[in-house]
Amino acid sequence: MTENPRKISRRGLLAGGLGLLAAAGGGGAWALDRYVLDHVEVSGASALTAQNVVAAEASGDGTATANSYSSSTAKISIETVSTGSGDDKITYFVADVQVTDATIVKSAFANDQFGENIIANPSAIASSAGAVLAINGDYYGFRDTGIVIRNGVKFRDSGARQGLAFYADGTMKLYDETTTTADKLLDAGVWNTLSFGPGLVDDGKAIDGIDQIEVDTNFGNHSIQGQQPRTGVGLIDPNHLLFVVVDGRSKGYSRGVTMPEFAEIFVGLGARTAYNLDGGGSSAMIFQDALVNNPLGKGQERGTSDILYVAG
């Protein structure tokens, strides 16, 4: 959710601190209920999707190496990039993804359940979904706003910020959630939406002012600015995507990047559109069930509510 150091974990310190407040009643009990306790709205979310959407079927299992994958429906190559040195070193991972059908780029929820405060490690979500490649998503479960369309199914319709829409024709667009509805987006051919931000690149150019944006102002949120670990997704051409994860907060390995620096990474890679996702300790890239990056220099994933993945 936020990209500044979180308090041990969203459940850890929040559960402890808010537990004391809950004992006192009043607002503390509300906060505990709102930000810690699971609120499952939909169970078996992937089955619901399968009942309503005709999904593309991969033909063949494909072949994989340590940093690439190829099948009749997807080609993936992963590159590790390091720049700078010492305390100014930056390390990030670029997955170049080309698919023949945009609907094999999917989303999956922690525990296959939609709702608030439901989390699992990205690798566990990816394994359950059968993902070839995955990155953490927008942590939709930490808030109750935003437009959430996943794999062609509407789960939430409460526009609040700049969102990202993936279309079934392989294109991708930034949009203002407050000026439309989930139903209108579905009618226009949207396959998935993400609600975090901000947008990084539009029409091939880094967007101005992104170093001043706050994504949320809710309880427990902090600025996403500064040099941070980050996760983002971009589009070069229809059906040609970029998944990028930057490690950070680790001296001598990777300091993280500012929002404008993150945008310039995507511009340098040829992205026409790019969007920032949840970052900090949540930033994770999973390939063939293995963690690719090194979150916070500790090699440990942090639970999140969703992933964006390639089915292969």
Q: What is the mean pLDDT of residues 274-291?
A: 96
Tell me the C-alpha distance between 241 and 87, whole Å.
31
Are 112 and 46 within 8 A, CB to CB?
Answer: yes
**Burial group, residue 38, by CB count within 10 angstroms (0-12, 13-18, 19+):** middle
**Does position 12 have pLDDT exceeding 50, yes or no?**
no
Q: Is the dihedral of CA 9, 15, 18, 20 positive or negative?
A: negative
Q: Would you place residue 27 in the very low, low, confident or very high pLDDT band (cuts 50, 70, 90)? A: low
Sorted by where each begins, the domain ranges of the chain are 1-37, 43-310
The encoded tokens of residue 234 equal 């971009």
Tell me the C-alpha distance between 267 and 279, whole Å.
19
H-state helical runs in the chain: 12-24, 27-35, 45-52, 122-129, 182-187, 259-268
- Residue 115 is predicted with a pLDDT of 97
Are 288 and 69 within 8 A, CB to CB?
Answer: yes
Average pLDDT, the chain: 86
Smallest CA-to-CA distance from 103 within 152, 50, 173, 148 is with 152
Report pTM: 0.84
Q: What is the DSSP string of 39-97?
A: EEEEESHHHHHHHHS------S--EE-SSEEE-SSEEEEEEEEEES-GGG-EEEEEEEE
Q: What is the pLDDT of residues 91-113, one digit of tens each?
A: 999 999 999 999 999 999 999 99
- Residue 66 is predicted with a pLDDT of 83
Percent of the chain with pLDDT over 70: 80
Q: What is the mean pLDDT of residues 46-55?
A: 53
Q: What is the mean pLDDT of residues 50-55?
A: 41
- Residue 26 is predicted with a pLDDT of 55
Are 230 and 246 within 8 A, CB to CB?
Answer: yes
Tell me the C-alpha distance between 276 and 112, whole Å.
24
Q: What is the mean pLDDT of residues 168-183?
A: 98
